[in-house]
Amino acid sequence: MATGVVVFAHGSPVESANEAVRQVARVISEDANFPLVAISFLDGGKPDLPGAVEELLAKGADRILVVPYFLTVGLHLRRDLPDLIERIRAEKTGLEIQVTPPLDGHPMLGSILRDRAKEGLAQWHS
Residue by residue, what is the 3-state secondary structure of the chain? CCEEEEEEECCCCCHHHHHHHHHHHHHHHCCCCCCEEEEEECCCCCCCHHHHHHHHHHCCCCEEEEEECCCCCCHHHHHHHHHHHHHHHHHCCCCEEEECCCCCCCCCHHHHHHHHHHHHHHHHCC
**Active site positions, annotated:** 10
